Chain A
Amino acid sequence: MQVKTVDLQTSQAVSAAIEKHGASREALIPILSEVNRLLGYIPAEAFTEIKRQLRLQSSDLRVYESQLYSLASFYHMLSTEELGRHVVRFCESAPCHVVGGRELLTAVQETLGIQPGQTTPDRKWSLITTSCLGVCAVGPVLLVDDDIYGNVTPDQVPEILARYE
């Protein structure tokens, strides 16, 4: 029987997540969110590892990879694909759109050279469109990693992106 060994980083992330949120069915989404936060995304082997560690903690807690994957694929903030070092999230909602969002998105795409959903070849940048961040009064809005930029104009884009290594 082939035994797949899991990456140490993944295994530690899963332990930390379960430790923080508890081993229960209702904690599944927080656990997945935590793993996503620690690793930047949820690698495939994390599903198996979560199943395994949960079973160890509570023998009647049976969770399957398919269930975990169905959760990870449903929620937008959970990613099963590895993202770039820096993630640019662009608000594509109507209030940002009507105040110049379209031009801004074009500028971002031109500067990075990628479309939404893609990562640059050097793996530095990922561009994702996101839903409303709730700061509509200062639209259009860009979220780079955890930094929110408001009232962004297309010509400000190169300068903002240059701040990130």
Chain B
Amino acid sequence: MYDAMLAETIMINGHDGHMIEAYSARPLDSTPRGGVVVIHHMPGYDDASKQIVHKFAFHGYNVVMPNLYWREAPGASPDDAAATARAKGGVPDDRLVGDVAGGTEYLKGLSNSNGKVGVIGYCSGGRQSFLAAVSLPLDAAVDCYGAFVVGTPPEGMPLKVGPIVDKTPQLSCPLLGLFGADDQHPSPDQVAELEKALQEAGKTYEFHSYEGAGHAFFSVNRPAYRVEAANDGWEKILAFYGTYLS
């Protein structure tokens, strides 16, 4: 079996036509395959996020992860870039959508693309994955414990996030949601509210909430890591993409 893959830093067209950095990994054979846009978490375009890119490529997907902080901090280390972006108020929603659209365009332009693209994000990226899926034509979306899809952020918060559950009728694709039952952001009530909105809009979705897990249970390099939830979650993600991106 030929299983070579290439992982590299590239430039893609982002929001408003700006070229931004992205990290890509893709199998090198010519078999048609789906693509995945990975949205990095708020701490940035870091090693852990790049490992996620590698994992999807290992499982047969073309993958790209836009550097959401490229405009504020080109070439900076991921933690400095994240700090700079935070100090400037974070990533505006319209810019996020434009950058994911650029990633989607890149994936669909690859010679071994089957024309299907999914999106996934963790933590702040979970909300942004949902945001992309209600804003762009996609084939599958995964929201891993994204806060503030439902629920209003604390008053006075300077970052540019707000609830987007009202956009559920515009969801363009099936949604997989993975949550920790002990998480308060999103809380089980907020997950239930999102589920209700999906039901009312007649959308295809699959939700799993893991007992004994809180926020960020996929993070292998953080104390929040929960091996059973993370292992089952990965199986759910790969099965979901297997259904909708093949």
The judgment on whether A and B are partners is no
Binding site for A on B (CB under 8 A): none
Q: What is the interface of chain A, defined by CB distance below 8 A to chain B?
A: none
